[in-house]
Amino acid sequence: MAKYYYAAFIPDAESGFSIFCPDFPEVASQGETVEECMDMAAEALALTVEEYAKARKPLPEPCGLEEARRRIEKELAELEVEAAGEILYQLIPAPSVDLTPVKISLSIAKSVLESIDAKAARSGMTRSGFMAAAAQAYDAQRPGASC
């Protein structure tokens, strides 16, 4: 079942919005518009959830809206920062972190497969591991995309 976490979009008089996720103190970003904030919050949450999965660290249980507000107010007070307007709260879906390997059938040119196998062997990886790492590396260089 999908988990949804609150992101707080805090208006800043100079640069649009600062973005924080009360359940993940390490998530912080910024955006000029609410739409950009939605994208940035989703991307920051996805990267954080991926890091938790790699570290086999369990995800925190999502807090409710009132708790999210309390945490953000506390954070702002500690930083001695005042919002330039009303703070917006938006639920952001956490991406799946199921790392269970799944067998697939894939058709590619024989020469491409030979190249993959050679590179995987030189890297000390399996074909599957190499292809998964290549897909993740490709995905990481494309803004707004996530494997």
How high is the pLDDT of residue 14?
83
Residues 19-60: tens digit of each pLDDT: 999 999 999 888 899 899 999 999 999 999 989 988 889 999
Residues 6+ apart with CB under 8 A from 32: 15, 16, 17
3-state DSSP call for residue 132?
Answer: helix
Q: Give the other-Cβ count within 10 Å of 68's Cβ.
A: 22
Beta strands in the chain (DSSP E): 4-12, 16-21, 24-31, 88-93
Asked if 23 contacts 5 with a C-beta cutoff of 8 angstroms, the reply is yes
- Per-residue pLDDT of 11-25, as tens digits, reads 988 889 999 999 999
Question: Rounded to an integer, what distance in angstroms lies between the CA atom of residue 99 and that of residue 56?
Answer: 10
The CATH class that applies to domain 4-93 reads alpha beta
Render pLDDT for 46-100 as a digit per residue (tens, 0 to 9): 999 989 988 889 999 999 999 999 999 999 999 888 888 999 999 999 988 777 8
Q: Domain ranges in the chain?
A: 4-93, 101-147
pTM: 0.68
